[in-house]
């Protein structure tokens, strides 16, 4: 049964390493803007170490290995009973450098030369697992090399629309829900953290609203049956949902209540999602939420992670107007990030060994799906 975030509840997991399943190179590690307490000197030292590490391992995953990984992922999620995978579809995967302007008009007819995510989509869909991709995210590491809205916002909007139309047209009938961009209420923090580059991300509602509208319209015009979702960083005290809800069918919320402190382990914070659904009149999904299993030095543990995962799934399922939850994330990876807890959110460790949270995730699925 395919995911339907309008009419029924769906359970899923998030992938942060789509490259693993697509035969492309692993990206550079990043600093997460949830915790920007490092001094400039400390950040510089960290980045130098990461650059050296990436040079040693920045090789594209062989396609046959990526296909095996996709099949194993699909089998794993089918066996435990998950409904969907939410994942990045980095613009750069399809368009490493910007398509020449003269060729933009023909891109929709010809399509991209390569579709690195085809194997992943095929493996999941064949097992009855829906795919919820993040479309046209403006993180610098995900954009075609050299593309920036600062070079011309109108040109960027045109390219984003063309890219979105190309992907939705290609996957029509296989993908029914698309997330447009990522956390538009937090773009300023993304820019400060180095995820996004340029002043356009700091401008406010003008460029932001234009981009969200362009992407939302592109999805619906290419596939009238498709749904759109826009996710918001929801740990902020003030959440101006109405500004964003008009550009999507489903409102997504991202919750990380234990990002800066390991205790108390409390999933009640997501009850805010019920209020958002009432306020907007739209279904709400918990697009991202999770709890890290380490480092133990900071008070995190596999037991606490498992407790949170089971509690938050039960809590989300009980809320009126909430139609889905995606646990962050499926797998720990060698792609290191800072702060260190960012590397421990997986339900499965980097050696592909299930953590206690994986088993509790499965127990919750059996309990709640009946």
Provide Rg for the chain, Cα atoms.
19
Give the confidence band of 238 by pLDDT, cuts at 50, 70, 90.
Answer: confident
Which range of residues forms the domain containing residue 83? 10-369
pLDDT exceeds 70 at position 195: yes
Q: Is 11 helix (H, G, I), strand (E, B) or coil?
A: strand
Least reliable range by pLDDT among 34-38, 189-193, 226-230, 264-268: 34-38
Answer yes or no: is 2 within a domain: no
Torsion sign over Cα 144, 147, 153, 156 = negative
Structure tokens belonging to residue 278? 């009432």
CATH number at residue 241: 3.20.20.80
How far is CA 136 from each of CA 56, 93, 159, 211, 251, rounded to the nearest angstrom? Answer: 29, 11, 10, 10, 17
Share of the chain above pLDDT 70, in %: 89
Look over the chain and give the mean of its residue pLDDT values, rounded to a whole number.
91
pLDDT exceeds 70 at position 46: no
Asked whether 320 and 274 are in contact (CB, 8 A), the reply is yes
Answer yes or no: is 3 within a domain: no
Asked whether 310 and 109 are in contact (CB, 8 A), the reply is no
Task: Looking at 127-204, list the stretches that DSSP marks H as alpha helix, in order from N- to C-terminal side.
Answer: 153-171, 187-193
Number of domains comprising the chain: 1
What would the pLDDT profile of 69-126 be if each residue is shown by its tens digit?
999 999 999 999 999 999 999 999 999 999 999 999 899 999 999 999 999 999 999 9
Answer yes or no: is 275 within a domain: yes
Answer yes or no: is 1 within a domain: no
Answer yes or no: is 82 within a domain: yes
Asked whether 171 and 121 are in contact (CB, 8 A), the reply is yes
Asked whether 335 and 27 are in contact (CB, 8 A), the reply is yes
Q: What is the pLDDT of residue 37?
A: 37
């Amino acid at each position: 049964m395919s995911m339907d975030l309008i009419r029924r509840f769906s359970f899923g997991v998030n992938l942060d390493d789509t490259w693993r399943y697509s035969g492309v190179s692993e990206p550079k590690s990043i600093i997460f803007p949830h915790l920007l307490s490092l001094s400039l000197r400390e950040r510089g030292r960290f980045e130098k170490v990461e650059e050296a590490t990436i040079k040693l391992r920045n090789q594209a995953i062989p396609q046959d290995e990526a296909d095996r990984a996709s099949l194993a992922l699909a089998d794993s999620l089918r066996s435990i009973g998950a409904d969907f995978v939410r994942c990045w579809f980095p613009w750069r995967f399809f368009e490493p450098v910007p398509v020449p302007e003269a060729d933009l008009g023909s891109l929709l007819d010809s399509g991209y030369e390569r579709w690195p995510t085809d194997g992943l989509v095929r493996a999941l869909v064949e097992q009855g697992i829906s795919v919820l991709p993040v479309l046209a995210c403006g993180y610098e590491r995900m954009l075609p090399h050299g593309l920036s809205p600062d070079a011309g916002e109108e040109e960027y909007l045109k390219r984003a629309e063309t890219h979105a139309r190309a992907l939705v047209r290609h996957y029509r009938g296989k993908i029914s829900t698309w997330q447009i961009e990522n956390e538009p209420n937090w773009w300023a923090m993304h820019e400060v953290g180095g995820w996004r580059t340029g002043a356009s991300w700091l401008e406010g509602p003008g460029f932001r609203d234009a981009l969200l509208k362009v992407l939302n319209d592109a999805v619906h015009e290419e596939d009238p049956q498709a749904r759109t979702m826009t996710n918001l960083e929801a740990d902020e005290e003030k959440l101006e949902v109405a500004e964003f809800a008009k550009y999507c069918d489903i409102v997504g919320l991202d919750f990380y209540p234990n990002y800066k402190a390991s205790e108390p382990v409390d999933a009640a914070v997501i009850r805010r999602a019920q209020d958002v659904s009432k306020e907007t009149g739209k279904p709400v999904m918990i697009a991202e939420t999770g709890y890290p299993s380490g480092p133990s030095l900071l008070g995190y543990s596999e037991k606490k992670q498992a407790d949170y995962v089971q509690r938050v799934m039960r809590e989300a399922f009980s809320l009126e107007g909430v139609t889905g939850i995606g646990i962050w994330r499926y797998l720990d990876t060698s792609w290191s990030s800072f702060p260190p807890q960012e590397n421990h959110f997986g339900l499965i460790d980097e050696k592909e060994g299930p953590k206690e949270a994986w088993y509790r995730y499965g127990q919750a699925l059996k309990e709640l799906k009946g």
